[in-house]
Amino acid sequence: MAAALCSNSYAQTSFTVEPQTACTGSPVGVTNTSSGSFQFAHFDFGDGTDTYGDNLQHIYTSAGEYTITMWLLNNDGTKTATISQNVKIDDTPTIEIADSKTMSQITVTSNQNVSYEWYLGKKKLDNTNNPLFYYESGNYSVIIKNSSGCTATAEIRVTAQDAESADNTIISVANNVITPGVKDGINDVLFITDVADYEYPCVVKIFDKRGKIVYTNNEYTNTNGFQGNDNDGNELFAGTYYYVIKSQGRKGVTGFVDIIR
């Protein structure tokens, strides 16, 4: 969008602003599109900053509505009349990211209501939740976006299994195959050895191949354990799923379980 004013016989003053709605920390470009004879263009960005030039970028640090004004200096030393355009600046959300090894989850904190887009390396994950539960080590990044479209990004490296523990007792999973529906007493449930003897609750999280969590049980027992259904009771498709199992005082364990139907 351009504003224009025929100020004298020397120049026709005009400029463009792109974008006209932006975020704090993101550049706003102004371009002098005037015609005629003049020496230079002067821009005032409305936040206490002014400068000279034809193609400029400016970054606003505070949200608000600002008026950008411009005038030209003609070749004879006179100034053209001032023209102006408005620009709206929205707040970019703040972002903090942290890893909770005991729960195998990455948590994002922001000062706004935002959506979440997760990546493992360069691979985009289908999971859009916060926190993000993980079963695989690597570099995780997240892009958050508010209702105005302003974004912020953070990255963290995590290790799927905590090597340090107050106890060297390893959680032991007896099977990596379950056959739900057969009900023959064999491989009906993901079976954790001696889980009934654990001093602290056993937390089990199951993920699909895309990294989306499908099952969570914060007080796992083999009686009410994973039998091939998600948290809503829906049957999961046959295939390979991944688990993260934790219990205070024990080394956590990760692995896979195949559902065969």
Residue 195's Cβ-count burial label (10 Å; 0-12, 13-18, 19+) is: buried
Candidates 161, 176, 183, 167; CA nearest to 240 is 176
Give the domain 96-158 fold: Immunoglobulin-like (2.60.40)
Q: Give CA separation, 235 vs 110, 215, 261, in Å.
A: 35, 11, 10
Amino acid at the residue 127: N
User: How would you write the pLDDT of the chain (261 residues) with one tens digit per residue?
Assistant: 444 444 445 678 999 999 999 999 999 999 999 999 999 999 999 999 999 999 999 999 999 999 999 999 999 999 999 999 999 999 999 999 999 876 778 999 999 999 999 999 999 998 888 988 887 889 999 999 999 999 999 999 998 765 444 556 889 999 999 998 777 778 999 999 999 999 889 999 999 887 888 999 999 999 999 999 999 999 999 999 999 898 888 888 889 999 998
What are the domain boundaries of the chain? Answer: 2-90, 96-158, 177-259
Is 178 within 8 Å of 222 (Cβ atoms)?
no
For residue 240, which amino acid is it? T
Distance between alpha carbon 135 and the CA centroid of its chain, in Å?
A: 18
Other C-beta atoms closer than 10 Å to the C-beta of 185 total 6
CATH H-level, domain 2-90: superfamily: Immunoglobulins (2.60.40.10)
What class has domain 177-259? mainly beta
pTM for the full predicted model: 0.66
Q: Which amino acid is at 173?
A: V
CA distance 230 to 21: 43
Angle CA 247–252–256, to nearest 5: 115
Say how far apart CA 215 and CA 230 lie, in whole Å.
5
The reply to whether domains 2-90 and 177-259 share a CATH topology is yes
> 133: which 2 tokens?
């539960």
Model pLDDT, residue 163: 44
In degrees and rounded to multiples of 5, residue 157 shows phi and psi of -105, 130
**C-alpha to C-alpha distances, 248 to 201, 226, 245, nearest whole angstrom:** 8, 20, 10
